[in-house]
Amino acid sequence: MSNIKNNFKIHKPSSLLIITPGYPDKDNSLIMSKFVKEQVEYLKSYFDTVYIISPIPHSFGLFESDKLCHDYTYDNIKIYFPRCYYVPIFYFKKILLDNRLKVIINTIEKNNLKFDVIHAHTTWPSGYIGAKLKEKYHVPSILTIHENGDWFEKEVKMDFPLINYAWENSDVLIRVNNKDIPILKQYNDNTYSIPNGYSSKYKILNKKECRDILNIQQDKKVIFSLGVLIKRKGFNFLIDAIKIILKSNPDILCVIGGSGPLKKKLEKQIHDLKLNNHVLLAGFIQEEQLPIWINACDIFVLPSLSESFGIVQIEAMACGKPVIATYNGGSEEIIISDEYGLLVDPRNAYDLAQKIEIALNKQWDKEKILKYAEQYQWENIASRIVSVYNKTYSENVIFN
């Protein structure tokens, strides 16, 4: 063993296979797991070829993903969207129907894909599939666990054999926060904390010009929030908070970007509270428009009940904006000082309203926020991920 250590040389992989539950289509008209695509943009320069496989459920053209997602290539990246069948039901610790592993193997064989490292995103099914492909093709598999706090906690409590298999048999586990590392180390000693990142398009722009583009009055105090309109994102508490704030701040405008199943319910809440002139549901916002919306605001608010990390808050910081967020499992590891933002109790509209008012009246140091956010630039995060690839691949070459 000592001779191996003395002669240890880092071997670098030349091709990467990514398994992900979602990936944007060619025209970016359907945004799924955009953070994976952004990460790939900064990983691709380290490889000759990057393969991405994202299984899409057959729906006879009913689902947007089935209609829009077709194989495409750009730069040195090849994306495959094989169609699959699965019923997302766990019954007696078995899956009723799921052929995603099979269709991924078929895609690999059909296209004669050769890869040195596998990187899977999210535990089920990608992490499980990555561990199975590791056995079949004898290449190392890395799993990044993106699950929000509540989801991750359920996975641990389920004690589901296939989930445990993914954690125990991946060569490396990466968690996007720090607090869950001790739990994951019970399944796999090779567990690291590496956060998500933000792209270079998030930067400071002229606030006046951004407001002119969006037709927002210059004298308004603008709050911006973003996310899928689902219960976990806590937008109902933000709307209640705006009602409270209006008593002392009549010039408030709160913009919530995103689409989702709770749209009608949130619209009714806004109408019932007579907030139509103060809360705007902006709907789905195109990726290229997001930096404009963020730069047009005064503060960014993330009222989520549960997050693993919360990419939008570092994107806001990259634009020099302070962030008001809840104690949700991810934000407290990012907002580590009141120089970058403020933390509030989840599900507490009064606490949220109070912290928003404090933030609107505080003089924030943009340069300090920007400097802090730099650690989350994708260039820096990608470099850390590639170091894990290289180390794991090199060890695999030597010991196999």
Please write the tens of the pLDDT for every residue from 112-130: 999 999 999 999 999 999 9
| Residue 89: φ, ψ to 5° | -130, 130
For the CA atoms of 83, 42, 334, 242, the dihedral, rounded to the nearest 10 degrees, stands at -60
More confident residue, 9 or 326: 326
The structure tokens listed for 109 are 């064989």
- % residues pLDDT > 90 (the chain): 82
The structure tokens listed for 322 are 């302070």
Q: Could you tell me the pLDDT band of residue 396, with boundaries at 50, 70 and 90?
A: confident
pLDDT digits (tens, 9 = 90+) for 213-253: 999 999 999 999 999 999 999 999 999 999 999 988 899 99
Q: What is the CATH number of domain 2-197+378-399?
A: 3.40.50.2000
**pTM exceeding the 0.95 threshold for the entire prediction:** no
CB-CB neighbours of 343 under 10 Å: 19
The answer, yes or no, to whether residue 12 has pLDDT greater than 90, is no
Q: Could you tell me the pLDDT band of residue 5, with boundaries at 50, 70 and 90?
A: very low
Q: Could you tell me the pLDDT band of residue 93, with boundaries at 50, 70 and 90?
A: low
Task: Say whether 207-376 and 2-197+378-399 share the same fold.
Answer: yes
CATH number for the 207-376 domain, one of 3.40.50.2000, 2.30.60.10, 3.40.140.10, 3.10.20.70?
A: 3.40.50.2000
**Cα atoms found within 13 Å of the Cα of residue 365, Cβ hemisphere only:** 10
Domain ranges of the chain: 2-197+378-399, 207-376
Residue in this structure with the two tokens 């962030």, named with its chain if needed: 323
The structure tokens listed for 356 are 């928003």
Q: Rounded to a whole number, what is the distance in angstroms from the first to the last CA of the chain?
A: 14
CA-based radius of gyration for the chain: 22
pLDDT digits (tens, 9 = 90+) for 251-292: 999 999 999 999 999 999 999 999 999 999 999 998 899 999
